Amino acid sequence: MVIRPIAGGVQVLAPAKLNLFLEVLGRRPDGYHELETLMVAIDLHDRLSFLADDSGRIALECDDPGLPTGPGNLVVKAAERLRLEAGPDRSPTLGARIRLEKSIPSQAGLGGGSSDAAATLVALDRLWGLDTPPGRLRELAGLIGSDVSFFLDAPAAVCRGRGERVEPLDSHPESSPPEFHAVLVCPSVGVRTPDVYAGLTPPDRPVPIGPAVDAFLSGDPARLGRCLHNRLQPVAERIQPALGRVRSALIDLTPSLDGHLMSGSGSAYFGLARDRQAASDAASRLGDLGIGTIRVVRCAVPEPDTHPA
Ligand SMILES: C[C@@](CO)(OP(=O)(O)O)[C@H](O)COP(=O)(O)OP(=O)(O)OC[C@H]1O[C@@H](n2ccc(N)nc2=O)[C@H](O)[C@@H]1O
Ligand SMILES: Nc1ncnc2c1ncn2[C@@H]1O[C@H](COP(=O)(O)OP(=O)(O)O)[C@@H](O)[C@H]1O
């Protein structure tokens, strides 16, 4: 995530993510599912600004009237959870005026709410001068939602457990993760994550993640395209049959695209392209079909001025 100082506070660009591979290993006794997923950040961002307020009030304003601005918003949840870390003496004076400008569609499997929550942890930790140890920040992220920890470590990682055990793929400081281009289709209908997991039967023989990770690290879109996999996709398409049209439209673009997949629990789909021009060409062809909002995106682009998690 990109974080910059502004007058009286900080501003953060919180990226969306794509799941390039998602396998469910089993259902856990706590009701969650054990996952293996390859996630990458993309250059589609929400923008959040944070101004300190020593009255102790946490106030959120959001330009999307469809989203809650109270404790139902993951931004408020993250702010309140972090404030507890300051202890009973300091926390009553810690407040913030937060503005959230949404560009990441909701209920799309793009992790917008989770990314906003991670951005809030990082920004308010800095604004309130808490200096929370990175390991503790990760624990708090895991308490807020399964996908939140990834955004502390983006741009590319393998995530396991509920999704909160993150193994970044850019661990060599001198090498950046490879860059991929894709066309993104965001249908007007969303899919609720709990409904998708509730409708899932975990596979007897899970698909291994290794080939997808190797293909990702090779930087070859054709190779990665052959390894794309999402166990949640057939369930989401059963719940929301309109998604079948998106899949068909992407199939019709084969072989101009190197592969296509639904992200996370849906409803967004992406088509992997050999380069930016191929992604733009695919976007033009998809634009007239009325299947949703079409964008060209880049994956796993290293960003300047990132907060060391
Ligand atoms: C499917 C994925 C793939 O990256 O992303 P999205 O499509 O939501 O972006 C994630 O697993 C979603 O993560 P996140 O959206 O943070 O989930 P949470 O808020 O923790 O959980 C929402 C609900 O999903 C189910 N859930 C979530 C994660 C998991 N490993 N197993 C589950 O069964 C549970 O029913 C839980 O109550
Ligand atoms: N900051 C936020 N941005 C988006 N959705 C949020 C946010 N906070 C809470 N939510 C709730 O989380 C749900 C979906 O979250 P989102 O992250 O957009 O989708 P997904 O889990 O599919 O990636 C929505 O129903 C929305 O009401």
The preferred substitution site among 48, 106, 159 for testing ligand 2, maximizing ligand atoms within 8 Å of CB, is 106
* SS3 (DSSP) at 87: helix
The pLDDT of residue 174: 63
Chain-wide mean pLDDT for the chain?
94
Pocket-forming residues, ligand 1, beta carbon under 6 Å: 19, 22, 32-33, 35, 37, 109, 111, 114, 145-147, 162-163, 193-194, 197, 264-265
**Amino acid (1-letter code) at residue 23:** E
Q: Is 255 helix (H, G, I), strand (E, B) or coil?
A: coil
Are 260 and 247 in contact by the 8 Å Cβ rule? The answer is yes
Q: For the segment 114-134, what is each residue's pLDDT rounded down to a tens digit?
A: 999 999 999 999 999 999 999
Q: How confident is the model at residue 307 (pLDDT cuts 50, 70, 90)?
A: very low
Q: Taking 60 as the threshold, does the pLDDT of residue 308 lie above it?
A: no
Angle of the 112-127 helix axis to the 74-84 helix axis, nearest 10: 30
Distance 92 CA to ligand 1 centre (A): 32
Check if CATH label 3.40.50.880 holds for domain 2-168.
no
Q: Do domains 2-168 and 180-299 have the same CATH topology?
A: no
The stretch 22-46 carries a mean pLDDT of: 97
pLDDT at 175: 67
Determine the topology of domain 180-299 in CATH: Alpha-Beta Plaits (3.30.70)
Say if residues 284 and 274 touch (Cβ distance below 8 Å). no
DSSP assignment of 254-301 equals: TTTSSEEEE-TTSS-EEEEESSHHHHHHHHHHHHTT-SSEEEEEEES-
Kindly report, residue by residue over 159-177, the tens digit of the pLDDT: 999 999 999 996 455 667 7
Q: To which residue do tokens 């808490």 refer?
A: 130
Helix 74-84 × helix 134-144 angle, to 10°: 140
Catalytic residue list contains 17: yes
- Domain coordinates of the chain in residue numbers? 2-168, 180-299
Site of tokens 């993150």: 166
| Span 65-118, pLDDT tens digits | 999 999 999 999 999 999 999 999 999 999 999 999 999 999 999 999 999 999
Q: For the complex shown, is ipTM > 0.85?
A: yes
Residues, the chain, total? 309
Atom of ligand 1 at shortest distance to CA of 22? Answer: 3
Locus of tokens 């939602």: 145
